[in-house]
Homo-oligomer: A and B are copies of this chain.
Amino acid sequence: MPEPLVDTLALIGIGLIGSSIARVVKREGLARHIVVQTRRPETLARAEELGLGDRYTTDPTEAVRDADLVIACIPVGASEQVARAVGPALKPGAVVSDVGSTKASVIAQVAPHLPDSIHFVPAHPIAGTEHSGPDAGFADLFRNRWCIVTPPPGTDTAAIDLVRRFWEACGADTEVMTPEHHDMVLAITSHVPHLIAYNIVGTAAHLEQVTESEVMKYSAGGFRDFTRIAASDPTMWRDVFLHNREAVLEMLARFSEDLSALQRAIRFGDGDALFDLFTKTRAIRRGIIEAGQETEAPDFGRTPGAGKPAEPGE
């Protein structure tokens, strides 16, 4: 096994992302010691049962004291509170990073609380599932996914390099961009998709003409696809929308404008407009498959008949 990238890694938060980092770091030997911190004692106990770290604490100050690399794996709305708590306890020269889905807000929350001797390199691995908590993580979560790094101007290049090498060793490809551009890109590739998924699931649950039971039974016509991301962690996603408000509202306005045009095409029977759009969108999926970000298998590779409990004799 190669030399570890860092001596002591502190993970602040041990949910889906934090526990996936812990698992891949252990498997690849990327750190000599892993300190796991989380606020809830039950979650910490579960992390210890799963053997995710070498040391466990509910105290963030205690967690970061000896750490060379600290990664906050928490809902973005908790960033300021954590930064305020750990700032004075950080080891001089330590690198602080995070995995938050919004970057400008995290920088605004965190940077003021870090001493000058600390290198802050915000990052965002674009990976996840609809499950959450320390049991949900797995070592291959970041494999072949992108991790976007958004260092503020003037950040130490060695620190940026460490964070990039860390994520690459976790299986990801890395890219550097400004926090503002990141927030715009993610608004359209992640935040608005989540919002409209949450929204249509909510709409379907509150109709008078169609029962919730019918919605569930007949969901294989397309609806069920949306329920996956609408089952994502509520706290994390509430924070994303509150902390990337401007970009989300801007992208949402574009979505709604385009949807109004489609609505009008349906109302007035403009089949050509519908056909043209539906033809173009096929090419985008093809591009995503070619970019290595999606499976080519039909129906995401779902097993035919997926969901049915095996019958006796099957």
Residues of A at the B interface (CB closer than 8 Å) are 77, 101, 126-131, 136, 138, 140-141, 143-146, 148, 171, 175, 181, 184-186, 188-207, 209-210, 212-232, 234-235, 237-239, 241-242, 245, 248-249, 251-252, 254-256, 258-259, 262-263, 265-267, 269, 271, 274-275, 277-282, 284-289, 291-296, 298-309
Contacts and interface: CB of A to CB of B under 8 A. Distances in A.
Contact of A193 (B221, B284, B300, B305): B221
A204 B189 contact: yes
A224 B299 contact: no
Contacts of A189: 204, 210, 214-215, 218-219, 221-223
Nearest to A196: B196
B306 A295 contact: yes
A133 to B, nearest CB: 12
A183 to B, nearest CB: 10
A298 B129 contact: yes
A210 B194 CA distance: 18
Contacts of A224: 285, 288, 293-294
Nearest to A235: B275
Contacts of A258: 199, 202-203, 206
A220 B271 contact: no
B256 A271 contact: no
Given A136-B298, A193-B200, A248-B266, 12 more contacts: A145-B305, A146-B217, A192-B200, A201-B285, A228-B299, A230-B285, A234-B274, A241-B266, A242-B266, A289-B307, A296-B307, A299-B300
